[in-house]
A and B are shown apart, each in its own frame.
Chain A
Amino acid sequence: AQRVTQPEKLLSVFKGAPVELKCNYSYSGSPELFWYVQYSRQRLQLLLRHISRESIKGFTADLNKGETSFHLKKPFAQEEDSAMYYCALSGGSGNTPLVFGKGTRLSVIA
């Protein structure tokens, strides 16, 4: 079964401190992993996907197949990073919708 686990419901950090949002997954094949973000009063939007190996708004995420993790990291948090973050998985078979974690609310304190 496909499962995405985000162990932290809430993460509070001070501005300028490093951030790591944890995500672990369970999938028997080779999954594709994503991070989605929902800022206050905005709709859910894609932040980054692992296949692109990109850095968006200073965030990066590395897929670790050995640990089945896809943690989201940023070296220096900004107040505007405060939002709800969802890790999501796709089976990559071309016919399966995304499986989301329950989300982590990041609060960056000035």
Chain B
Amino acid sequence: GAGVSQSPSNKVTEKGKDVELRCDPISGHTALYWYRQSLGQGLEFLIYFQGNSAPDKSGLPSDRFSAERTGGSVSTLTIQRTQQEDSAVYLCASSRTGTSVYNEQFFGPGTRLTVL
């Protein structure tokens, strides 16, 4: 079956521009997560959606970052006024029901963002 998909796979933008990254979770998965993978920093949690609950935004690094999830499925991560330090691979993951340890998180291939 189809896994988590993300688009675009690569994005090169100029400093100061806005970007939108898209994530399509596995059908039926109610939980969706965004992580950022920076060189030497491992994976950092950004934001988490669970069903119709208010998202957990505690990992967003600044107010330039925002995300939404429409219809409980597709999610878009938006970065406004991009900075060079935003360059990273942005990973999306989904799981069946929240973050129970019995529910595996399935990851997408990531979007590599380069800010010039």
Contacts and interface: CB of A to CB of B under 8 A. Distances in A.
A103 B107 contact: no
B99 A99 contact: no
Interface in A89-107: 90, 92-103
Contacts of A97: 33, 35, 45, 48, 56, 59, 99
A44 B101 contact: no
Nearest to B43: A100
A49 B99 contact: no
Contacts, number: 55
B18 interface: no
A24 B93 CA distance: 24
A79 B33 CA distance: 32
Given A49-B101, A95-B98, A43 B108 contact: yes
Size category of the B interface is 20 to 34
Contacts of B93: 44
A95 B110 CA distance: 23
B99 to A, nearest CB: 6
A17 interface: no
Interface of B: 3, 33, 35, 40-45, 48, 50, 56, 59, 91, 93, 98-102, 104-110
20 contacts: A43-B110, A44-B43, A45-B107, A46-B105, A49-B101, A51-B102, A86-B42, A92-B101, A93-B99, A94-B98, A94-B100, A95-B56, A97-B33, A97-B45, A97-B59, A98-B43, A98-B105, A100-B42, A102-B42, A103-B42
